[in-house]
Structure 1
Amino acid sequence: MATTHQHPLRHYLSPAAAVALLAALALSTRWIETQAGGRTLVFALVTGAVLGLVLQRSRFCFYCHARDWFEGGNPRGLLAIVLALAVGLVGYTVVLGGWLPVPQPGKLPPDMHIGPVSWVLVAAGLSFGAGMVVSGSCISAHWYRLAEGSAVSPFALLGSALGFILGFKTWNGLYSQSVADAPVVWLPAHLGYGGALLVQLAVLAAVAAWLWRGFAREAIKEGAPATRVPGLGAVWRRLWAGRWSYWVGGLAVGLIGALAIVRMRPLGVTATLGSAARQWAQGWGWIPERLDGLDGFAGCATAPQSTWLTPNALLLAGLVAGAFIAALASRQFAPRWPTWRDAVRGLSGGVLLGWGAMTGLGCTIGTLLSGGMAGALSGWVFAAALFFAVWAGLRAKAALSTVGPSQGIG
């Protein structure tokens, strides 16, 4: 049996380093709180840190969960995504019902990720899904894998920034062709809060029932393990060994998504990256100064920044820090030197991810998760296109791997 090479850094960057990083994060909140809007900024940082820890420990990854189902028939990951959406739907309905008691067509709740629905959104979802297959993760997973020392993720995030720039270059044409006149559909405005919640939960229940086929039979066949209440020491060790259960990740992500809107905008992990790419590209004259209609959308839309001390930037910083703390504490920080294949995979896949995220006004977290939780039809359409692209991409990779050896392909 082949032995797994252990990077020597893993033995030195111990859980003690995680504690030190956690202490530094806590101390930074005291300075952040003194800035304008400090309490919201601290909330964003802490929310991001908790989200990063949950994502890393539960391995919550839209691409990996979809791949496990399409290739191996393992539904646990996709069921976790369904659970996150269901929990978030209930939470969003309660919160939005307090803000806007009577939903009406043409009147959208502020800051929610509700975007236009057209063929452009479908193209964005297909591009993002293809980028997931090529690079091996979505943008949110690349952020937390960056904290694990991934050799692909730095190139994927750089490629995503380039993809955003490409998206800005194509935006005005797409906007005039389709986006400007596309309907912006908020389901509660047409079905009421109760009707929209029931319809969406029914769809999620149908998806869960479809995924569950054969799953229960496998559990019975394997036999249920003997149950015993573990001690506190055993519980603590399990927190930092292996991975958390799928359902824990789904439940936690859903709760975090619903709680986030109480104090700040919905979750999203691309606005800061896209805004930086936009500001840099406009400074060099690579993209138009005017991006028609873009700043009027509330999703993970980008805008030039006078300061980078924003809730979204702090959320992102917290996510990486939380994932780094989790990776160190669980001894899963395993950096390695990238190869040229890592660079090609990351950059090419990242460009597809970035173009899809810019054109779709968000990624799997912003458009799919936050949009779906808010009752946006755009979130469901983006999800359908994305998962279709993952399915098709995995089939294409399997076909190429089968044909490759006989024709000298790699």
Structure 2
Amino acid sequence: VYWIAGIAFGVTVQRSRFCFTSAFRDYFLLGQTRILKGILVGLVVASVGFAMIMSTVVPNPDFGSPPSDANLLPVGLSTILAGSLFGVGMVLAGGCVSGSLYRMGEGYVASWVVILGVMVGLFFLNNTWNWWWDNLISTESNIWLPEYLSYSGSILVTLISILFILYLAVRKERKVNAGFVMPVITKKFSEPHITSTLGEIFSYFKKPFNTEWNPILAGVILAFINILLFIKFHPFGVVGEISRWSTDISQVIGFPELELRGLEGLGACVMIVTEGSWFTEGFFFNVGIIAGSAASSILSREFKVRIPKSPRRYIQSLIGGTIMGYGAGLGVGCTLGAFFSAIPSLALNGWVYGAGLCVGAYLGVQIIKRFP
């Protein structure tokens, strides 16, 4: 199931260029909201779907604990710090964690370096996690909105907040780009004339790969994939698995096994330690993203091994990935788990993490403007 979900995710984000980094960076740098609108629409759809699922599992939030698989985490200073670090890192790296995974499938060598940096950042975070837990995270509380506002009130507040953000974003876009229309370039390819039945079938199959998908459509597709996963398993998340990769590799090269306090009581993208096999749900989802993106880019004739021309790009990717990895570990999730799946979980931590992403992305944009 996670293999199929990962492939579907990879195809969707590759065809739509659906990238969280682009959404935040382009808003602060160019005043563009094309991808951001897709994210916000996806949040609306996922929030309604998640609420329906959670209300079935916990009919009365006043007399029951939140669903264990919801991306509900402690919220406080650690959340805003984590989001800010992640935001800075993703802008410097040129992609968030999920965005780097799908670009790996497109042939971007720098994205492989970014994921290496993410693993380095997660290694450093894992070695300092107990300090963060003892001094900060353990003192913070989980705040699940339905416990205070009911499901109806929580959905109403969530949808109004998302629509208000959308209004502000579009308003800024119109103000910044008054009198100028940003062209949307879609790639279309002419197919050779094929007369055979098999050729016609293949040509029909390739049609979705002959043009760029609308980010709003992509946001809706990703929301439905997330809802389907939540019905049976748990929402999107890629960081927990990458943290496991980082831990396993560090132990292979001689670092001691760590005992991380408090993880057993957390949700979202917590690292799940397994014995004897790398082939976990998270492994299949993450590798599925790469495979789906690779297949999509090949079918759309966009696959190309892209090697950075400047060594500086490798350094920037590694540093950005490391900062992003540390922030993802501290926040127990990235733009997927701690934001795109947390807000639909009706968890306050998703909103606070999102605010941190905005702060970090803004700072990251200032850095790349100063040191292009």
SS of 1:358's equivalent in the other structure is helix
Q: Distance in 2 between matches of 1:219 and 1:124?
A: 35
1:169–1:288 contact (8 Å) kept in structure 2: no
Equivalent residue for 2:23? 65
Structure 1 residues 171 and 285, CA, compared in 2 at 3 Å: closer, same or farther? Answer: farther
The equivalent position to 1:257 in structure 2, one of 209, 212, 226, is 226
1:278–1:304 contact (8 Å) kept in structure 2: no
Identity %: 30
1:171 equivalent to 2:112? Answer no
Equivalent residue for 2:113? 155
1:44–1:264 contact (8 Å) kept in structure 2: no
SS of 1:372's equivalent in the other structure is coil
Q: Distance in 1 between matches of 2:112 and 2:172?
A: 39
Q: Which amino acid aligns with 1:74?
A: Q
Q: Distance in 2 between matches of 1:242 and 1:319?
A: 20
TM-score of the superposed pair, with normalisation by structure 2: 0.88
Equivalent residue for 1:366? 337
Structure 1 residues 359 and 96, CA, compared in 2 at 3 Å: closer, same or farther? Answer: same
1:165–1:287 contact (8 Å) kept in structure 2: no
Divergent runs of 4+, >3 A: 214-222, 232-238, 282-288
Equivalent residue for 1:397? 368
Counterparts of 1:308-323 in structure 2, within 5 Å, are 308-323=278-293
Deviation at 1:285, TM superposition (A): 5.9
Deviation at 1:48, TM superposition (A): 1.1
Counterparts of 1:175-254 in structure 2, within 5 Å, are 175-213=133-171, 239-254=208-223
2:74–2:349 contact (8 Å) kept in structure 1: yes
RMSD: 2.3
1:111–1:299 contact (8 Å) kept in structure 2: yes
Deviation at 1:133, TM superposition (A): 1.2
Pick the structure with greater CA Rg: 1
SS of 1:203's equivalent in the other structure is helix
Q: Which amino acid aligns with 1:381?
A: V
1:90 equivalent to 2:48? Answer yes
Structure 1 unaligned runs (5+)?
A: 1-42, 223-231, 402-410
Structure 1 residues 119 and 95, CA, compared in 2 at 3 Å: closer, same or farther? Answer: same
1:101 equivalent to 2:59? Answer yes
Deviation at 1:379, TM superposition (A): 1.0
Deviation at 1:105, TM superposition (A): 7.3
Deviation at 1:110, TM superposition (A): 1.2
Q: Distance in 2 between matches of 1:291 and 1:221?
A: 52
1:279–1:305 contact (8 Å) kept in structure 2: no
1:114 equivalent to 2:83? Answer no
Q: Distance in 1 between matches of 2:207 and 2:288?
A: 23
1:282–1:289 contact (8 Å) kept in structure 2: no
Q: What is the number of residues matched between the two proteins?
A: 350
Q: Distance in 1 between matches of 2:172 and 2:84?
A: 29
Equivalent residue for 2:191? none
The equivalent position to 2:273 in structure 1, one of 304, 307, 319, is 304
Q: Distance in 2 between matches of 1:182 and 1:214?
A: 35
Deviations 1:87-139 (A, max 9, x none): 00000001111111111377121122111112112111111111111110000
The equivalent position to 1:139 in structure 2, one of 64, 81, 97, is 97
Deviations 1:333-371 (A, max 9, x none): 110334522321221111111111111001000110111
Bigger RCO (CA 8 Å, 6+ sep): 2
The equivalent position to 2:349 in structure 1, one of 378, 391, 404, is 378
Deviation at 1:318, TM superposition (A): 1.6
Structure 1 residues 240 and 118, CA, compared in 2 at 3 Å: closer, same or farther? Answer: same
Equivalent residue for 1:55? 13
1:329 equivalent to 2:296? Answer no
